[in-house]
Amino acid sequence: MELLARKMGNIASEREMQELQDLLNEFPEHQRLIEIIESIETNKSSKLSYRNEATVVDESWELLQNQLEKEAEKKVNSKKGTGLIKVINQNWMSRVAFVGGILIISAGLWFTLYTTDHNKQLPTDTVQQLQVPYGEPDKKILPDGSEVWVNAGSNIRYVDNTQANTREIYLEGEAFFKVKHDAQHPFIVHAGTISITALGTEFNVEAYTNDNTIKTTLIKGKVQITMVEKPDQKIILSPNEKLSVTTKGSTGTDNKAEKEISYKLEPIDNLISGSIVPELAWMDDKLSFQNEYFLDLSKKMERRYNIHIVFRDSTLKTESLTGTFENESVQKALRLLQMTTPFRYRMERDSVFLYR
């Protein structure tokens, strides 16, 4: 989730707060964003309904976005006739995209914030965003003709400009890409702590911000993956291979956030045999899982059924589960899981509580 929204909703971890502060130390001209948040925080307690993290972040972001729109409108009105449009430094935005989650700013706001050069005329490229709510995968044809399937609870950003030198996508969540071949214009997907470069290929990327592992599964062609923390190390994937990059944060002796990055490269045998591939099942509106921890499965169920799962018994989190859900309701899915793993559950509105 967005660092600013998590701070505003009082759910940012100590590590995320440190990462945000490090960015502000490096780019102090953007301290104004924090001032806006603090001005909202004084009156927001009665407006936010704290049901779960996703709700908190969404509602916090909506309040922040509304305030930014008001400030942008004031600045435009005060500069009538100048054609002035202000923007956050894009390098700063790229840095934010790789620390604790991608900072998403809606298309209408992308070119309406702040720069130090008040009289600079900016490019007129249009930034587009596709945000898919929980429970509803969607498909999009990009300006270059490439196809992207976006999973529930995910969003992508891209510049709607076919004349750009590169085709770049910013992903938060999960998406499958069928890239139109164009050797002169590399297709790059920025997802959390990695970047995936392809020319003409088909691959799936899973990079939800509440997961510390990013998974890239290659179906056809070839892709090159670069880790932000290790830019000199490049990994080439061949068809039927999956790369999992895991990032774990810690606090060093100097109280600065440190990151430990590991990765695993493995074959995907199901792509060859033709059986259901868990990494791609969502495209057929299925939820498939093999030897998966209940905790990891619960996150996928939350996105599929638009619910919030709470473990009242922490030992359930590490139960290993295998199966496939297709048309089952959340109640039927839970009953099927009970056939292999003993547990009880209680539902209250959009929340599910799990017990032994």
Q: Give yes or no: residues 255 and 168 share one domain.
A: yes
Q: Give yes or no: residues 232 and 298 share one domain.
A: no
Q: Give yes or no: residues 135 and 252 share one domain.
A: yes
Evaluate whether 242 touches 215 at the Cβ level (below 8 Å).
yes
Between 232-236, 267-271, 312-316, the lowest mean confidence (pLDDT) is in: 267-271
Q: Which of 119, 134, 166 is the last residue of a domain?
A: 119
Strands (DSSP E) along the chain, which ranges?
127-132, 138-141, 147-150, 154-159, 167-178, 187-191, 194-198, 202-207, 213-220, 223-227, 230-237, 241-251, 257-267, 287-293, 308-311, 320-325, 344-348, 351-355
Q: Which of 74, 92, 119 is the last residue of a domain?
A: 119
Residue 348 three-state SS: strand
Q: Give yes or no: residues 226 and 291 share one domain.
A: no
CATH code at position 147 = 2.60.120.1440
Residue whose tokens read 């992207």? 148
Q: Give yes or no: residues 299 and 319 share one domain.
A: yes
Residue 198 domain flag: yes
**Per-residue model confidence (pLDDT) at position 33:** 65
Segment 343-347 mean pLDDT = 94
Q: Give yes or no: residues 158 and 104 share one domain.
A: no
Residue 71 domain flag: yes
How many whole angstroms separate alpha carbon 289 and alpha carbon 300? 10
Segment 6-27 mean pLDDT = 66
Q: Give yes or no: residues 115 and 129 share one domain.
A: no
Q: Give yes or no: residues 135 and 232 share one domain.
A: yes
Evaluate whether 286 touches 300 at the Cβ level (below 8 Å).
no
CATH code at position 313 = 3.55.50.30
Q: Give yes or no: residues 247 and 292 share one domain.
A: no
Q: Give yes or no: residues 115 and 137 share one domain.
A: no
Report residue 117 as tokens.
């050069």
pLDDT band at 182 (very low <50, low <70, confident <90, very high): confident
Q: How does pLDDT run across 196-255, given as a tens digit for each residue? A: 999 779 999 999 988 889 999 999 999 999 988 888 889 999 999 999 999 886 545 454
Residue 275 domain flag: no
Neighbours of 177 (CB within 10 A): 24
Residue 273 domain flag: no
Write the CB contacts of 242 (distance below 8 Å, at least 6 apart in sequence).
Answer: 215, 216, 217, 218, 265, 266, 267, 268, 279
Residue 278 domain flag: no
Q: What is the dihedral of CA 245, 251, 256, 258, to 10 degrees?
A: -20
Q: What's the chain's average pLDDT?
A: 74
**Per-residue model confidence (pLDDT) at position 69:** 58
Note if the pTM is more than 0.85: no
Residue 277 domain flag: no
Q: Residue 181, CB half-sphere, CA atoms under 13 Å: how many?
A: 5
Q: Give yes or no: residues 111 and 183 share one domain.
A: no
Whole-Å CA distances, 31 to 36, 38, 319: 9, 11, 44
**Per-residue model confidence (pLDDT) at position 251:** 45
* Of residues 308, 309, 280, the one with CA closest to residue 294: 309
Q: Give yes or no: residues 202 and 306 share one domain.
A: no
Q: How does pLDDT run across 103-119, given as a tens digit for each residue? A: 333 333 333 333 333 33
**Per-residue model confidence (pLDDT) at position 247:** 85
Q: Which of 119, 146, 168 is the last residue of a domain?
A: 119
**Per-residue model confidence (pLDDT) at position 212:** 87
**Residue numbers of the domain that contains 165:** 125-268
Determine the length of the chain.
Answer: 356
Q: Could you give the number of structural domains in the chain? A: 3
Number of DSSP helices (H) and strands (E) in the chain, helices first: 9, 18
